[in-house]
């Protein structure tokens, strides 16, 4: 059994970073001035020439080193560290309520009812103006 380290698959790293950024192959292709098929071939390649890697890194908004050293574990460790830092911070008690405390649909209905009431009041005011003008 070989203990040699398996080389990083640069194309796969590009794919994962692109996906994490929410970018499609077509968008990356446009950003670096190639076709979508070229990006597909690039992502299937184990190695990528340095000049192309620089272009891809710039388009993805990361460094060349980030692409070369990308790992799934690193991403999860980063986010776990971020969450641990926030929960242990001095911002309040470390707990955050990111859920709505009201029903958004109720708010929409309330705003609609206020709009309808305001419209009725406006129409009534206009009618009163017309009646005053008729009386003169």
Contact 59, 25 (CB under 8 A): no
How far apart are the C-alpha atoms of 31 and 51, rounded to whole Å?
15
pLDDT confidence of residue 90: 47
State pLDDT tens for residues 5-29: 556 889 999 998 898 888 999 999 9
pLDDT confidence of residue 86: 47
How far apart are the C-alpha atoms of 66 and 7, rounded to whole Å?
15
Contact 25, 36 (CB under 8 A): yes
State pLDDT tens for residues 52-89: 999 999 999 888 888 888 877 766 665 555 554 444 44
pLDDT at residue 93 tops 60: no
Secondary structure of the chain: what % helix, strand, coil (to 5)?
70, 0, 30
Quick one: average pLDDT of 105-115?
88
């Amino acid at each position: 059994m070989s203990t040699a380290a398996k080389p990083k698959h640069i194309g796969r790293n590009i794919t994962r970073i692109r996906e994490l950024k929410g970018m499609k192959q077509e968008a990356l292709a446009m950003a670096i001035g190639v076709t979508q098929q070229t990006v597909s071939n690039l992502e299937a390649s184990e190695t990528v020439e340095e000049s192309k890697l620089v272009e891809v890194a710039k388009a993805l908004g990361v460094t060349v080193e980030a692409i070369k050293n990308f790992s799934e574990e690193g991403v999860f460790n980063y986010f776990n560290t971020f969450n641990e830092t926030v929960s242990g911070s001095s911002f309040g008690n470390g707990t955050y309520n990111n859920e709505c405390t009201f029903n958004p649909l109720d708010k929409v209905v309330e705003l609609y009812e206020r709009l309808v009431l305001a419209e009725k009041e406006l129409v009534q005011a206009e009618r009163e103006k017309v009646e005053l003008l008729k009386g003169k």
